[in-house]
Chain A
Amino acid sequence: MAEETLATILIGESHYAAIATAAQETLAFTPEKRGCDLIFFDAWKHSLRYPFTVETDGQTVLNPDMAQSISTIAYNYDKVELITVLGGGHHLALTLLDNGHPMDVILPDRPDLSLRDDATLVSVDFAKAIFLQLIATPFTSLACLKAAFPELPFAQIECPPANGDDDYVRSHLGNYFEANYSPEQLDAISSPAQRYKFWKLQSEMYADKCLELGIDYMRVPEPAISADGFLKPEHFGSDSTHANAAYGRIILDTIEARLGQKFMAWNSFG
């Protein structure tokens, strides 16, 4: 009896890139032959402005084009798994550079982490409420995906841990910040403790949201995290925000463990 075909659909914004790159480097590209395949959404084609949700009759729903693509894939495979890497960069948008109003928190399980003297201390609840102003969109996308495909196994992957290396962060801020911020601002990056804390807060918010929506939440696996909770240097990406393909491969391994089988090939859509 032929083995069941399984499509793992990966949908994300920028953090899916590490996983997709790892897939391209370690899997075959076979658009026709089906097996256990990773099929990712080509967010890069839409300059990260792809509307995952649309308003229809006063309701917010999954973009019909996305829904159709997923349905088409589902039609062509025996089983489908949905994996998302939505959002993820907002903790850095809030804290990476000193925007004149540094913010800091005390994590209840890590009161030992240093506090910036010049930061406004806010409660974790208040910080999360401020955060929510930024991450409402990916939360809505998760909800709409789940609503459109309630029966599909669905997991959101935790975004990569923060980069704890100040020198690396300073020297890899990227063109946008370098073009729009003064040298003083570029030098005034957040502290590693701040970057860790806000990554953790954001992760908690995603975990809570996924629990609420009935979506599994896949934490970053241990091999990808340093002893003090940061992204390992060997996994640093080309900028201070993202991880590289080696990290992506670890995530692929984690997904394969969840599936109980190895990927054979990759493909993309969108």
Chain B
Amino acid sequence: MLLQIRGLNKRFGGLKAVDNVDLNVERGEILGLIGPNGSGKSTVMNLIMGVHRADSGSILLDGVEIAGRSPSHIAERGVSMVFQHSRPLQQQTVLQNVYLALLPNRLLNLRMSADVERSAREILDMVGLSAVAERFPSELPFAGLRRMELAKSLARKPSLLLLDEPFAGLSSSEVREFSDLIRGLRSDGRAIILVDHNVKGVRALVDRVAAMSAGQKIADDLPDAVLSNARVREVYLGGGDGTIKPVDAVPATAPTVLDISEVSVSYGKGRALDGVSLSVPAGGVTAVVGLNGAGKSSLFNAICGIVPSRGEIRFRGESLAGKRADEIARAGLVLCPETRELFGDMTVLENLKLGGRNMPVAEMRDRLAYVENLFPRLAERRRQYARTLSGGEQQQLAISRALMMKPALLLIDEPTLGLAPIILDVISEAIEAMRAAGDISLLLAEQNMTFALRHANQMYLLEHGAISWSGPSKDFMQQAGDRLL
């Protein structure tokens, strides 16, 4: 046994990030560690590497306890980790970046050596970067940088290689190439643990999958067995299958309120959205579903003019090109962001009034009555500071503040993120009330399939920044449900 973890625990404040996890990894094995956003998988990796210190539990590497040691000590014992984001040496070449990783941890090392350089070139050859050895990291594409980071880790000749979301931000063809590369790194002595959001992405690559949810390990088996595991399905797809009666599609005669064609968003070298097209019919609920990192928030921010994008976005027939975020919001297209962005040092009422600041007093009073009727809890808490509200109340306030602007189209990014089931019901009721009133259209971004299916008339599945399925929500489970695992 190369790695043996027993009873691992880690708390961040009130959050139990890792809850009594056991994990074994054999030599020569590739283990996939999966789980939704916030399930604790990256924390497990960071605990193994010593980036965080475990509260309790034991991590044995080759029978030696490494829990509580420093990252550099753990690195010297043969563990190496490739981070999702790291800052390479920008003034040095790709070759020198790998050269760095080959250096011993010794101060009196003052001469460059030709042997080390030769080894660095061999490693670059292994990851397919020989041709760009003399280039600077800033000249490499995103996938090339990922390869360079992998090369740095390989230079350490690790017996245990940790890869944190190795495929994030890569296109599907790059994912395939990178998978092949990782597969080639398996050797008798070396084990690999890789973190990913879902089983699907790693199924063909890994020998075994451990699934996590809310800090606990909920499954540990062959990939296909984990895929059909009831607990795992519940975590990814929400409640039981078939218990929800999906909403019918909006009649085809309904006018289109939002029409998006070929919208792309890039952050530096990473492409978050790749030619997304969708349309939102008036008077219904449309949901964009997808895993964390699929590009949902980028899409919503692009629609609202918060991040620059290419492609065309038309709201009620008018192009939004060149409009500022505040102009778009005043035109009736309002975003309730994932992060909520409440004014913590203002009261509930002050937050709401800010939403309706452009209205005549009488209209604002009506509007206040409307949102307080939708969320009676807020009426009780008018004078309370927003920061003192519970998570669920904050979400209600965020939606209400957006509603105060009298949107024709309301975008809610992750309405259920981090909320308890009882709060979900409150938000569910509010969404149904809005639908019944019929004077507002809704576009939701969701990871929680159950919630999306309960409300949406039509759904779009976003994967790796592109729409991979769209249609009426009643067909979703049958046609696309398995893609989310």
Verify that A and B bind, or say they do not: no
